[in-house]
Amino acid sequence: MNEKGSRRIPSAGPSITQAEIDLVSQAIKDGWGPKMSYYIDEFTEEFSNYIGYKYCLPTSHCTDAIHLAMLTLNLNPEDEVIVPDMTWVASAAPVIYVGAKPVLVDVDPDSWCITASQIEKSITKNTKAVVVVDLLGNMPEWDEILDVCRKNNLFIIEDASEGIGAKYKGNLAGTFGDISLFSFNATKLIMSGQGGMLCTNNQDLYNSAKLMSHHGMDKPKDGKGKYYWSDVLGFNYGWTNIQAALALAQLRRINELIEYKKWLFGEYQKRLSTVPNLKLSPSTDNVDHTYWITTALLKDYRIKKEDFKVMLDEHTIDMRPLFYPLSAMPPFKNYVNKNMRDENPITYELSDYGICLPNGNNLSEDDIDYICYHFKNALGVS
């Protein structure tokens, strides 16, 4: 097989069509003055209709949305929030932002998501909430989680930033939390470069988050009242019309984008089916997985993710490693026990041997052939 030469196959990349170009161009031309929030409002309404939650608040990042969600809970320093150890750092960092304690728990070996049993065994008198992550396009066993959380009166924050479009028993990711959160980062299934969304059916929570998202200012009604007046100390978490126009065009293509991800997973699966004991993206019977990112677990080959990345780098393939355990990183050292590898063994094993295959929206069959050829060579499989 011929080498790609100087061309690098990136780990991710968006699908940009004329639909995105036209809508963003229109927003640049007319999205000012009286239409300063037109595309934001259009996207918010269409996203609300898609998810089925009444109140949706766009934010500049999903991290901001998670932060606002934590702020609405009025957490105290002794309060605890349960978070899976296997997730992106932004799922847990806002717990610390608001002065509460993250409790990092292990995940399921089949879904790689948090489980009801891990939540239940970690509940104390100080537990106030759980962050449930729909990881990498997959989802956990939500029925069991809802049962445990309702019995223990725990608030659920659903981090659906990686799960948009996935379904559990026919219900969309992002429809299980008291507050649900989404990301439109440049790598996500639908994207706007950056951006996030906070969704809820609770008007009081929405109003609280909205107030804090814009410096604690509530716009005067009918032109009457104080401008530039902060009722509380808030944040600058607003979005732009241009970002919203891009996300709007992407949202209108979401089924097409999901189909591409499923196609890409299928192509990897076909080409790598001859690799003994290779586990690609985990899935469970109740979940319609989007395969936002196709993953592989190299446990049986005893090749660490960092080493495997270097092997593929030599052939201009950007093979990203799976997340590190949050409990292994310095910012969380004051919140964990010393034996977290023993405490959360599945998380640590997944992190040691988990990798993410290139998942850009512009990969051709030749690209996939090239990736899989060098993937198998690196494992010593013909």
Does 36 map to a domain?
Answer: yes
Residues 6+ apart with CB under 8 A from 49: none
- CA-CA distance, 288 to 258, in Å (whole number)? 11
Q: Which of 201, 229, 251 is the last residue of a domain?
A: 251
CATH of the domain at 189: 3.40.640.10
102 and 243, same domain (yes or no): yes
232 and 92, same domain (yes or no): yes
Q: Do 262 and 290 touch, CB atoms closer than 8 A?
A: yes
279 and 264, same domain (yes or no): yes
Q: Which of 231, 251, 271 is the last residue of a domain?
A: 251
The residue type of 69 is A
Does 234 map to a domain?
Answer: yes
**Per-residue pLDDT at 6:** 58
Does 11 map to a domain?
Answer: no
Q: Which residues of the chain have a pLDDT value below 50?
A: 1-2
* Closest among 136, 90, 94 to 111, alpha carbons compared: 136
213 and 82, same domain (yes or no): yes
Within 13 A of 187's CA, how many CA atoms are on the CB side?
Answer: 15
209 and 287, same domain (yes or no): no
Does 4 map to a domain?
Answer: no
194 and 325, same domain (yes or no): no
Kindly report the number of other CB atoms within 10 A of residue 201's CB atom.
15
Q: Domain range holding 241?
A: 18-251
Does 5 map to a domain?
Answer: no
Q: Which of 251, 268, 301 is the last residue of a domain?
A: 251
Does 12 map to a domain?
Answer: no
237 and 332, same domain (yes or no): no
What's this model's pTM, rounded to 2 decimal places? 0.95
243 and 285, same domain (yes or no): no
Q: Do 72 and 179 touch, CB atoms closer than 8 A?
A: yes
Q: How distant, in Å, are the alpha carbons of 164, 171, 279, 297, 313 from that of 272? A: 26, 31, 10, 12, 19
The number of folded domains in the chain is: 2
108 and 137, same domain (yes or no): yes
Q: Do 198 and 57 touch, CB atoms closer than 8 A?
A: yes
The edge-to-edge listing of strands for the beta sheet with 196-200 is: 55-59, 196-200, 179-183, 155-159, 127-133, 80-84, 101-105
- CA-CA distance, 251 to 311, in Å (whole number)? 36
Reduced to 3 states (helix: H, G, I; strand: E, B; else coil), residue 297 is strand
37 and 153, same domain (yes or no): yes
- CA-CA distance, 291 to 283, in Å (whole number)? 9
- CA-CA distance, 242 to 293, in Å (whole number)? 26
The residue type of 293 is I
263 and 245, same domain (yes or no): no
61 and 185, same domain (yes or no): yes
Does 7 map to a domain?
Answer: no
**Per-residue pLDDT at 3:** 58
Within 13 A of 154's CA, how many CA atoms are on the CB side?
Answer: 30
